[in-house]
């Protein structure tokens, strides 16, 4: 009787996840396997036939200088994640205190995250305008004689994208940190104070270790999300000027949907997958040293 009940429970469980699993298998797992097959072909969208070409795509990738440029830019782009997390932690600390307009400020910080990416892109393009943009106006009034050309130069364009991305992720990171800060029991903080800890010591020795699982979570999800993003760059610079903002995900997009080079695009996607995998594994391994549950 009991086993029967269990069985029925299991069946019910499967029924519940069934519709979703169907979607995952059809639209994710099968295409993923198929894309692995494409790596070994020269399949081009619209081309009449495709043939098996072994490892030629991989060889081509390793020879492709744009791949290395994109890889480098991707690393620079990923730097935005820890910076954004660090800033979010500070903002969350501030907003966790008694403060006027606390709720309004929280909402304001979260706004970017729920704003349409294209709108965000256009506003930032105006802000970064080398001649009429407010950012350079401020820099000039602060005494910077030769403010950078931001998106119109190859040297500063990736930095500009990073700034946008830090700003974009800040709100989300901050909300998660706020939740984590409210979990911290007041007793611990009081005990530290009674023992004579100074505020920065409380923050560094008590609060930061206590929210470390949150930091770890934000780090992993942030890096994965960032490495997959290309929409905002496509909207602002399309990878230019030159190749200065070409990142791997955009490189995949261009090869697949601009050049119709599906086999090659699949190869880059798998390279991207291994990079994400590697980063995540390194973090799992590294977390033992600094994450405290």
Partner 1 sequence: MKTSKWITLSLVFIVLISMLGACSSGNNGSGGNKTEGGQTAGTDKPSAPVKLMMWGGVPPESGPQAVVDAWNKEHPEIQVEYVRFVNDDDGNLKLDTALLTGQNVDLFVNYTLTQTQKRIDAGVALDLSAFTDYNILEKMGSNAEGWQVNGKFYGVPTTRSAFFVALNKDALDAAGLPVPKDWTWEQAREYAKTLKPATGYGMVQHLEPFLDPIDAALTKEGYVKADGTSNLDSPSVKKWLETLGGMMTLDQTTPPLGEQITSKIPVENVFLAGESPMLNIGAWLLRSSNNFTDFPRDFKIAFAPVPRLVENQADYIPRGGLGDYISINAKSSYTKEAWEFLKWYADGGMAPMAAGGRLPASNAADQDEMVANLLGDKGDTYDKESLMYVLFEDETPTHVRELPQEVTDLITQEYEKFFLGNQNADQTTANMVKRHNEYLKQAK
Q: Which positions touch partner 1 (CB under 8 A)?
A: 8, 12, 15-16, 18-19, 45-48, 60, 63-65, 125, 128-132, 149-154, 237, 240-243, 254, 257-260
Nearest to partner 1 of 89, 124 (CB atom): 124
Shortest reach from residue 57's CB to partner 1, in Å: 10
Nearest to partner 1 of 181, 256 (CB atom): 256
Shortest reach from residue 33's CB to partner 1, in Å: 21
Shortest reach from residue 240's CB to partner 1, in Å: 6
Nearest to partner 1 of 81, 160 (CB atom): 160
Nearest to partner 1 of 73, 173 (CB atom): 73
Nearest to partner 1 of 60, 193 (CB atom): 60
Shortest reach from residue 238's CB to partner 1, in Å: 9
Query: What is the SS3 string spanning the chain?
Result: CHHHHHHHHHHHHHHHHHHHHHHHHHHHHHHHHHHHHHCCECCCCCCCCCCECCCHHHHHHHHCHHHHHHHHHHHHHHCHHHHHHHHHHHHHHHHCCCCCCHHHHHHHHHHHHHCCHHHHHHHHHHHCCCCCCHHHHHHHHCCCCCCCCHHHCCCCHHHHHHHHHHHHHHHHHHHHHHHHHHHCCHHHHHHHHHCCCCHHHHHHHHHHHHCHHHHHHHHHHHHHHHHHCCHHHHHHCCCCCCCCCCCHHHHHHHHHHCCCCHHHHHHHHHHHHHHHHHHHHHHHHHHHHHCCC
Shortest reach from residue 64's CB to partner 1, in Å: 8
Shortest reach from residue 4's CB to partner 1, in Å: 12
Nearest to partner 1 of 84, 237 (CB atom): 237
């Amino acid at each position: 009787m009991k086993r029967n009940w269990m069985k029925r429970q299991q069946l019910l469980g499967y029924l519940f996840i069934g519709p979703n699993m169907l979607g995952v298998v059809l639209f994710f797992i099968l295409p993923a396997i198929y894309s692995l097959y494409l790596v070994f072909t020269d399949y081009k969208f619209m081309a009449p036939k495709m043939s098996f070409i072994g490892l030629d795509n991989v060889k081509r990738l390793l020879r492709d200088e744009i791949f290395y440029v994109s890889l480098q830019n991707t690393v620079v782009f990923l730097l935005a994640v820890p910076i954004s997390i660090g800033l979010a932690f500070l903002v969350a600390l501030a907003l966790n205190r008694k403060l006027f307009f606390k709720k309004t400020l929280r909402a304001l910080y979260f706004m970017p995250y729920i704003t349409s990416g294209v709108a965000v892109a256009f506003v930032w393009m105006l802000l970064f305008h080398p001649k009429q943009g407010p950012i350079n106006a401020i820099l000039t009034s602060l005494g910077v004689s030769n403010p950078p050309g931001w998106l119109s130069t190859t040297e500063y364009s990736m930095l500009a994208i990073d700034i946008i991305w830090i700003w974009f992720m800040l709100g989300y990171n901050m909300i998660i940190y706020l939740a984590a800060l409210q979990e911290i029991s007041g007793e611990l903080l009081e005990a530290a104070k009674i023992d004579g800890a100074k505020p920065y010591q409380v923050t560094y020795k008590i609060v930061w270790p206590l929210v470390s699982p949150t930091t770890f979570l934000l780090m992993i999800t942030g890096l994965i999300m960032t490495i997959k993003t290309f929409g905002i760059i496509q909207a602002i610079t399309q990878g230019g000027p030159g190749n200065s903002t070409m990142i791997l995900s955009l490189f995949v997009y261009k090869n697949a949907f601009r050049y119709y080079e599906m086999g090659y695009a699949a190869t880059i996607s798998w390279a991207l997958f291994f990079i994400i995998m590697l980063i995540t594994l390194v973090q799992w391994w590294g977390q033992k040293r600094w994450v405290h549950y």
